[in-house]
Each structure stands twice: as structure tokens, then as C-alpha cells.
């Protein structure tokens, strides 16, 4: 695909696409883990767990802590710590430009994240992003890499299946790209954490450094 199609709708992941919130998340994991297990947490398993649902990450950390049964409590406490943070995540390049363009042209768009809805909505407010449709993992029957989150968001936005080939999904993780590709929509990768080769191998049809370069291509179509 030389160029992405002019979109009839655009769906976004959140972390790594709209914002960089790793410090927010990992900080909350560290403090919650310390409170429950009374020791320091291990490094974040980025290679295997980037983009995965919070309860899956909690299971990994709880296993390191020595008691997997405490994973639900760890996940709940982490979310509580996360929502208390007053430091907003960093807004990534191109977000305002692309979101403003979509709004001005009445192109449906929204966020489907493996993070919880409350965190996504709070972060959108903190960063000044203007997204009005934000859906988190607590609103989906299955998390990514299942296509369910994006199919659910598409239904919420009133997107018809016959238009899927002209609907863009922006993702940065392999988990997310797999989910996007499985919908039959146009999976577009961003180089936040994985290489172009990795994203293409997992289902991306095209890759951009950030949303800014994607925006520049869309407005030239």
C-alpha cells in the first residue's frame, strides 16, 4: 500500500499512539506492588507484555511477587494509584493536528484502549486532547489482541462493515496491531516501541513514525 486511503473513520489506541504514559503506569505498578508484596518490583516485561490488558500484567508481577492469587488485588490497587497521579502523560506528535482535522471534516473517531476507561478519560482531560469517545478494556468482552475492542468501538461510532476497508486503526504494539488487522480494517503502525519490520509482520499495512506524518499524508490525499 503506497498510501493509506482517505478515512471514513479513524480508530486509535491510546498508550504509544496518543500519549506516552509508561512512567505513569509503571510508577503506579511500583507503588502498588511495594504496598502488597513489601519489596521492589521487577522491570516491566516490555517484550512480552507491552499493550496487554492490565490484569495480564498484574498476573506477571504477582507471580514475581510470589503469590499469583494476589493479582486481582494488585491490579485494583494499581488502578487506584494511577488515577491519583497529578502528572499527565506526554502527548505525542500529531495528535491535535489529526484530531482537529477529523472533527472539522465530521469523520467519526475514537479511542479503544487496553487501559481502563477512567484512566484514558482522565489523561485526555489532563493533556488537553479533544477526544469525546474513549473506551477502555472494562467496556470490552475481550481485550486486545482480540479484535473485539475495535469492533465494539466501530459499532459505537456507527461504522458499517462495508466501509471497513476505508477505516484506519492506529496502533503501536504488536498486540494492538494483531487486533487491528483481525478486524479487516486498515491497520497502521506507529514506531513508538517496535520496528517497521515487526509491525508489518504482525499485520500493519503501513507504518509511520508518529501521527504527525500520518496526518500529513491524509491531508494530501
pLDDT tens digits for 1-46? 688 999 999 999 999 999 998 889 899 999 999 999 999 999 999 8
Which residues on adjacent β-strands are paired with residue 15? 19
The half-sphere exposure of 124 on its side-chain side, counting CA atoms within 13 A, is 23
Tell me, which fold does domain 9-20+89-218 have in CATH? Rossmann fold (3.40.50)
| Whole-number Å distance between alpha carbons of 39 and 219 | 51
In this structure, what C-alpha cell is assigned to residue 134?
A: 474513549
Model confidence pLDDT, tens digit, residues 68-82? 999 999 999 999 998
Model confidence pLDDT, tens digit, residues 144-199? 999 999 999 999 999 999 999 999 999 999 999 999 999 999 999 999 999 999 99
Domain limits, the chain: 9-20+89-218, 22-84
Model confidence pLDDT, tens digit, residues 97-126? 999 999 999 999 999 999 999 999 999 999
The whole-number pLDDT of residue 50 equals 85
The half-sphere exposure of 20 on its side-chain side, counting CA atoms within 13 A, is 10
Amino acid at each position: 500500500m503506497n498510501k493509506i486511503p482517505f478515512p471514513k473513520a479513524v480508530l486509535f489506541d491510546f498508550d504509544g499512539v496518543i500519549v506516552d504514559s509508561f512512567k505513569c503506569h509503571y510508577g503506579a505498578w511500583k507503588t502498588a506492588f511495594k504496598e502488597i508484596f513489601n519489596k521492589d518490583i521487577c522491570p516491566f516485561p516490555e517484550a512480552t507484555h507491552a499493550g496487554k490488558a492490565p490484569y495480564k500484567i498484574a498476573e506477571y508481577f504477582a507471580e514475581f511477587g510470589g503469590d499469583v492469587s494476589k493479582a486481582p488485588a494488585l491490579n485494583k490497587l494499581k488502578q487506584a494509584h494511577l488515577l491519583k497521579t497529578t502528572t499527565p502523560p506526554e502527548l505525542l506528535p500529531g495528535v491535535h493536528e489529526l484530531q482537529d482535522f477529523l472533527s472539522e471534516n465530521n469523520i467519526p473517531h475514537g479511542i479503544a484502549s487496553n487501559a481502563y476507561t477512567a484512566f484514558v478519560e482522565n489523561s485526555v482531560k489532563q493533556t488537553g486532547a479533544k477526544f469525546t469517545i474513549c473506551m477502555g478494556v472494562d467496556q470490552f468482552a475481550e481485550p486486545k489482541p482480540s479484535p473485539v475492542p475495535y469492533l465494539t468501538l466501530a459499532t459505537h461510532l456507527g461504522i458499517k462493515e462495508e466501509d471497513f476497508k476505508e477505516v484506519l486503526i492506529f496502533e503501536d504494539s504488536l498486540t494492538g496491531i494483531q487486533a487491528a488487522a483481525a478486524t479487516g480494517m486498515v491497520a497502521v503502525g506507529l514506531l513508538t516501541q517496535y520496528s517497521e519490520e515487526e509491525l508489518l509482520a504482525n499485520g500493519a499495512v503501513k507504518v509511520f513514525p508518529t501521527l504527525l506524518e500520518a496526518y500529513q499524508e491524509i491531508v494530501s490525499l
